[in-house]
Amino acid sequence: MLGLSTDSCATTPSATTLGTTALGAITLGTEAIINTENIKAGLNKSCHSHEEKTVNRWSVDEIVALYELPFSDLMYRAQTVHRENFNPNAVQVSTLLSIKTGGCSEDCGYCPQAARYHTEVESEPLMALDDVIAAAQEAKDNGASRFCMGAAWRGPKQRDLEPVLKMIAEVKAMGLETCATLGMLKEGQAEQLKDAGLDYYNHNLDTAPEFYGEVITTRTYQDRLETLDRVRSVDINVCSGGIIGMGESRNQRAGLLAQLANMERPPESVPINLLTQVEGTPLHGTEELDPLEFVRTIAAARITMPSSFVRLSAGRQSMSDGIQAMCFLAGANSIFYGEKLLTTGNPEADSDKKLFAKLGINKI
């Protein structure tokens, strides 16, 4: 759980924005070979029937063609789509708190919380309710509008879920949006989360299906899709994205975006993480990704998911102000700060405030 929006003709607005996207895709550059048939088919489907949801809106090749545009053309297209759907100078701020750290049974190759890897992360029990509420209050005071609670579990057992439901209800009562990332959900658990007042559930696809087995073996891609279906079925907003820079190819980065963009309803929130390499994890030592490739990924996410919030998540701390500014220009409009919110000050929040002031960005 590193990282740690509607229906319509998904919507009515979505049909409009899809149209823009599709037309834009046709005109995005003479070198880009774009198959518009899927896009047209998707448009027709989404407009003709509420029941017949949009499918196959973006092929992997179409998304690769976006990546291959000249950088300025890609940024222009992304910024154009962004302005059609969002205030370009507003960024949503979420705070992530790890409510249960370390000791996880899974084998995600990037994660220091996996019990099997020898990292500096120690296994800790579930936090007490009062401590979570204090952290949520601090997040609110720092300007966060959403509070995300993450637990390093394969999935919650019922006895684990009960106290988390209380946390969600209390955080919601403070006037914050609530988000949780607890791993795979079993039947009936999404309903309980909904009843407690959960607004968003985060469960990342991580990467393209073809690369997934290189990173995780203890749960399948299908397991992840099923959890997302459970979340959708009870009308909790979906937060799902992935991690870039794990050694995947550009095609596989495009493959991840295609998975997300072609969902019946794309996630309302799409966290794009840059791999943070942690000593002791299998992915430590992976060749570093060119930062501009990360910016291109943000732009491609914005173009393919026009009405989703695209979130800069893990890895942001290692990016220069310049690269972060380019990410906002490419359409990122949500950030996480406080991977681990400290009780004594939050330097990350301070530096974000300075960056926002430099860029004239307002918090949502």
Among 104, 254, 330, 335, binds ligand SF4 (CB under 6 A): 104
How many residues bind ligand SF4, per CB under 6 A? 10
4 belongs to the binding site for ligand SF4 (CB under 6 A): no
Amino acid of residue 346: N
228 belongs to the binding site for ligand SF4 (CB under 6 A): no
- Parallel/antiparallel/unpaired status of strands 237-239 and 242-244: unpaired
| Residue 179 falls in the annotated catalytic set | yes
Beta-carbon neighbour count of residue 107 at 10 Å?
A: 17
DSSP code for 288:
P
| Residue 47 falls in the annotated catalytic set | no
| Residue 111 falls in the annotated catalytic set | yes
Torsion, CA 186, CA 305, CA 321, CA 69, rounded to 10: 130
1 belongs to the binding site for ligand SF4 (CB under 6 A): yes
Active-site hit among 302, 311, 316, 327:
311
113 belongs to the binding site for ligand SF4 (CB under 6 A): yes
Task: Please tell me the distance from the alpha carbon of residue 287 to that of residue 274, in angstroms, as a whole number.
Answer: 12
Burial class (CB in 10 A: 0-12, 13-18, 19+), 19: middle
Binding residues among 139-158 for ligand SF4 as defined by CB under 6 A: 152
Element (H, E) at 253: helix 250-261
- Of the pair 46, 259, the CB lying nearest ligand SF4 is at 259
Stretch touching ligand SF4 by CB under 6 A, among 109-117, 166-174, 266-274, 284-292: 109-117
| Residue 311 falls in the annotated catalytic set | yes
Q: List the x/- string, 261-280, binding to ligand SF4 by CB under 6 A.
A: --------------------
Active-site hit among 47, 111, 232, 296:
111
339 belongs to the binding site for ligand SF4 (CB under 6 A): no
- Of the pair 65, 256, the CB lying nearest ligand SF4 is at 256
User: Which among 224, 314, 298 has a CA at the least distance from the CA of 263?
Assistant: 224
Are 108 and 114 contacting, i.e. CB atoms less than 8 angstroms apart? yes
| Residue 239 falls in the annotated catalytic set | yes
Burial class (CB in 10 A: 0-12, 13-18, 19+), 276: buried
Q: Which residues are catalytic?
A: 104, 108, 111, 148, 179, 239, 311
- Residues forming contacts to ligand SF4 in the complex (CB under 6 A) are 1-2, 104, 106, 108, 111, 113-114, 152, 183
